[in-house]
Amino acid sequence: MITRLAVSGYRSLRDLRLVLSRLNVVTGANGSGKSSLYRSLRLLADVAQAA
């Protein structure tokens, strides 16, 4: 299980640090970065697949 996530310099995410638990709910206004958050996870997954 991923328990902590840090993203910096990806799309609009300048310096994001999150503590995650088994269930996480992401909310926010349009353009606040929700999709950027899951895209960053997708990018990490793709990088791991390529390794």
Ligand X SMILES: Nc1ncnc2c1ncn2[C@@H]1O[C@H](COP(=O)(O)OP(=O)(O)OP(=O)(O)O)[C@@H](O)[C@H]1O
Which residues in this chain contact ligand X in the complex, by CB under 6 A? Answer: 11-12, 28, 30-36
Q: Is 10 within 8 Å of 36 (Cβ atoms)? A: yes
Closest alpha carbon to 21 in 40, 41, 42, 3 = 3
Site size with Mg ion, rule: CB under 5 A: 2
The CB-of-25 to Mg ion minimum distance in angstroms stands at 14
How far apart, in whole angstroms, are the C-alpha atoms of residue 33 and residue 47? Answer: 21
Positions in 1-51 near Mg ion (CB under 5 A): 34-35
Q: Which is nearer to Mg ion, 12 or 35 (CB)?
A: 35
